[in-house]
A and B are shown apart, each in its own frame.
Chain A
């Protein structure tokens, strides 16, 4: 209870963080608690009358494939977020290991890691994803987990870069020197001395990797690469274009995924602004 209170009073000084977590929590509740109120099957084609605008029976309307969009949004938002979560967590995990080991130990391993990261920073990750996704799987019937795994092929690059550069500067600090002199091993220093001090940066990296993963999945799915059977947010965009929802004025079908996607990204932006303030309290920003 005390911790919650502490968080709430901190959030008052850091409203961006509070709003970010708030929006994310709302989306999370929408997609979890929401499943208790909708029929999950109705998120799939041929279950309800087609092209119905929002009404009492279908508050979010229905699409041209006969999906109930309320059910679709509830299921799809959750799927898209979990794709991003899986890719982000794997990316952060790999990034943490590589960033700490290469930054702390240096040497030839560091040179190799730095080189690969530099090359991959030049090659846009989206194009790489496009290449991998269309070549190694069957575009159109990819499993949701496959999508997340493919995204994690690129999601480690950003975290590795951020963490490595933080480790490089922290390595020279007095308390790390002290720990080294007192005979702590490298692993111990990384885990006990550096990791706790870099927590805010790890959190920023996670937020970046998750939103990068969501972004990647949306980009692929908007072109129809992904699981066309599942109602993920990106696939909804694909079907909106496929069925020409614009020409038929089906505003509900267009705006619902757009609003959900915008909320996801705004939440991550606010969280990273908020975490930035946790990491560098001296740089008080006034957004």
Chain B
């Protein structure tokens, strides 16, 4: 299988344009607004009683120089683009001089862990379930699962998170007399020591990630199942399925090798389209659970008026999605040899 070079170049060009657009929006918006991140941060420090008026003035000047805000606008823009493309996202202004990249590096793995697991599980379960419901030889009772899953898929996952917190954590604790309940918040118990070599730490982490993951899982499984079922109904009527059955192939083989494989392509396309939604819902779910991932960190940055961290995290997430979309675009020709990329 050969992918034409023009297709690859086009996708790379698109990726670069998305990066440039995101970086430029990130640069221009703050300059259009009447707000001043530095002044606001200093104001916060004054109101929390940590600064006197004179030292505040001094600090403001110093921060301006450090962030290069005293230079002409075009120099700032060029420097900003250059830094961004080297993945240098600047420093936090709330907890100066921590680098934003450093903050991201500490939090992203939590998000990838629970969000990634939930997404993969939802995709696999939803796809198989939807395929079975659409397949006329599968047990009929499965189709009873579709209406509730469709209902779940309509509700935002962070709203479902609230319901889960209430019933699975707070109420379960009351019903079982405190013997069995899921954690209310956080990524690990406060008394657990973070040690990636320790099995107990991992158990604790998984235990804490169940509810956040479940709130994403329940919401997205339905969407995958509905899409897959619609595809399956169409594919089952295709000639090659009839032919495979006429050859006397086993049902299992027809299902997996003939029907399922052909239904997978639209599913993978919509996985690529859904990446943004998945990241969005993960960030909000994290905030509901105060989970130590990047989404909750973004919420914290907003509440701390820490604009540089906020811009950095948003840019990083947009990049992640753009790169992931690019990768799916590159894999796609291998999955579907029928598509021609000539034009």
Q: Which of A's residues lie within 8 Å of B, judged by CB?
A: 115, 118-119, 121-128, 130-132, 134-136, 139, 215, 218-219, 222-225, 237, 240-241, 246-247, 249, 251, 254-255, 258, 261-262, 265-266, 268-269, 283, 285, 287
Knowing that A126-B276, A268-B154, A287-B226 touch, tell me 8 more A-B residue pairs with CB under 8 angstroms.
A123-B18, A123-B21, A130-B314, A131-B26, A131-B29, A135-B33, A223-B299, A251-B166
| B166 surroundings in chain A (CB, below 8 A) | 246, 251, 254-255
When C-beta atoms are compared, the residue in chain A nearest to B276 turns out to be A124
Residue B73 interfacial (CB < 8 Å)? no
Proximity string of chain B (115-145) to chain A, C-beta cutoff 8 Å, 1 when within and 0 when not: 0000000000000000000000000000000
Residue B8 interfacial (CB < 8 Å)? no
Whether A118 contacts B14 by the Cβ 8 Å rule is yes
* Interchain CA distance A135-B322 in the complex, whole Å: 23
* Interchain CA distance A224-B153 in the complex, whole Å: 25
The residue that A122 contacts in the complex, of B230, B284, B307, B321, with Cβ under 8 A, is B321
Proximity string of chain B (16-57) to chain A, C-beta cutoff 8 Å, 1 when within and 0 when not: 011001100110011011010000000000000000000000
* Interchain CA distance A240-B155 in the complex, whole Å: 18
Given A122-B18, A127-B280, A266–B155 Cβ distance below 8 Å? yes
When C-beta atoms are compared, the residue in chain A nearest to B21 turns out to be A119
* Interchain CA distance A261-B155 in the complex, whole Å: 8
| B158 surroundings in chain A (CB, below 8 A) | 219, 222
* Interchain CA distance A125-B153 in the complex, whole Å: 19
Whether B276 contacts A265 by the Cβ 8 Å rule is no
> Chain A's interface: helix, strand, loop or mixed, by majority?
helix
When C-beta atoms are compared, the residue in chain A nearest to B174 turns out to be A249
Proximity string of chain B (162-175) to chain A, C-beta cutoff 8 Å, 1 when within and 0 when not: 11011001100010
| A119 surroundings in chain B (CB, below 8 A) | 14, 17-18, 21
Of A119, A131, A222, A255, chain B has the most CB atoms within 10 Å of the CB of: A131
| A225 surroundings in chain B (CB, below 8 A) | 302
The residue that A222 contacts in the complex, of B146, B154, B284, B318, with Cβ under 8 A, is B284
Whether B159 contacts A223 by the Cβ 8 Å rule is no
Q: Please name 24 pairs of A and B residues whose Cβ atoms are closer than 8 Å in the assembled complex, sorted by A.
A: A119-B18, A119-B21, A122-B18, A122-B322, A123-B22, A123-B318, A124-B317, A125-B276, A126-B280, A127-B279, A130-B314, A131-B29, A131-B311, A134-B302, A135-B29, A135-B35, A135-B307, A136-B29, A219-B156, A222-B158, A224-B303, A246-B170, A247-B170, A254-B162
| B298 surroundings in chain A (CB, below 8 A) | 130
List residues of B (312-326) whose CB comes within 8 Å of A's CBs: 314, 317-318, 321-322, 325
| B21 surroundings in chain A (CB, below 8 A) | 119, 123
Residue B151 interfacial (CB < 8 Å)? yes
Residue B331 interfacial (CB < 8 Å)? no
* Interchain CA distance A247-B171 in the complex, whole Å: 10
Whether A266 contacts B151 by the Cβ 8 Å rule is yes
Whether B321 contacts A247 by the Cβ 8 Å rule is no
When C-beta atoms are compared, the residue in chain B nearest to A269 turns out to be B154
**What count of chain B residues pass the 8 Å CB interface test?**
54
Given A118-B14, A215-B156, A240–B162 Cβ distance below 8 Å? yes
The residue that A124 contacts in the complex, of B159, B230, B318, with Cβ under 8 A, is B318
Chain A min CB distance to B7 (Å): 15
Chain A min CB distance to B89 (Å): 14
The residue that A127 contacts in the complex, of B33, B35, B162, B317, with Cβ under 8 A, is B317
Whether B288 contacts A265 by the Cβ 8 Å rule is no
Whether B29 contacts A132 by the Cβ 8 Å rule is yes
Q: Which of B's residues lie within 8 Å of A, judged by CB?
A: 14, 17-18, 21-22, 25-26, 29-30, 32-33, 35, 146-147, 150-151, 153-156, 158-159, 162-163, 165-166, 169-170, 174, 184, 226, 230, 273, 276-277, 279-280, 283-284, 287-288, 298-299, 302-303, 307, 310-311, 314, 317-318, 321-322, 325
| B299 surroundings in chain A (CB, below 8 A) | 223
Chain B min CB distance to A117 (Å): 12
Given A122-B18, A269-B150, A285–B156 Cβ distance below 8 Å? no
The 5 tightest CB contacts between A and B, nearest first, are: A124-B276, A269-B154, A126-B280, A265-B154, A135-B33
* Interchain CA distance A128-B163 in the complex, whole Å: 27
Given A132-B29, A139-B302, A246–B163 Cβ distance below 8 Å? no
Given A124-B280, A225-B302, A262–B155 Cβ distance below 8 Å? yes
Given A223-B287, A246-B169, A124–B273 Cβ distance below 8 Å? no
Chain B min CB distance to A224 (Å): 7
Chain A min CB distance to B170 (Å): 5
When C-beta atoms are compared, the residue in chain A nearest to B28 turns out to be A135
Chain B min CB distance to A276 (Å): 10
* Interchain CA distance A34-B166 in the complex, whole Å: 28
When C-beta atoms are compared, the residue in chain B nearest to A138 turns out to be B35
* Interchain CA distance A240-B153 in the complex, whole Å: 23
| B17 surroundings in chain A (CB, below 8 A) | 115, 119
* Interchain CA distance A219-B21 in the complex, whole Å: 23
Chain B min CB distance to A120 (Å): 9
When C-beta atoms are compared, the residue in chain B nearest to A261 turns out to be B159
| A240 surroundings in chain B (CB, below 8 A) | 162
Chain A min CB distance to B130 (Å): 12
* Interchain CA distance A268-B150 in the complex, whole Å: 12
| B35 surroundings in chain A (CB, below 8 A) | 135
* Interchain CA distance A122-B11 in the complex, whole Å: 13
| A287 surroundings in chain B (CB, below 8 A) | 146-147, 150, 226
* Interchain CA distance A286-B47 in the complex, whole Å: 60
Whether A258 contacts B170 by the Cβ 8 Å rule is no
Whether B287 contacts A222 by the Cβ 8 Å rule is yes
Of B26, B159, B226, B273, chain A has the most CB atoms within 10 Å of the CB of: B159
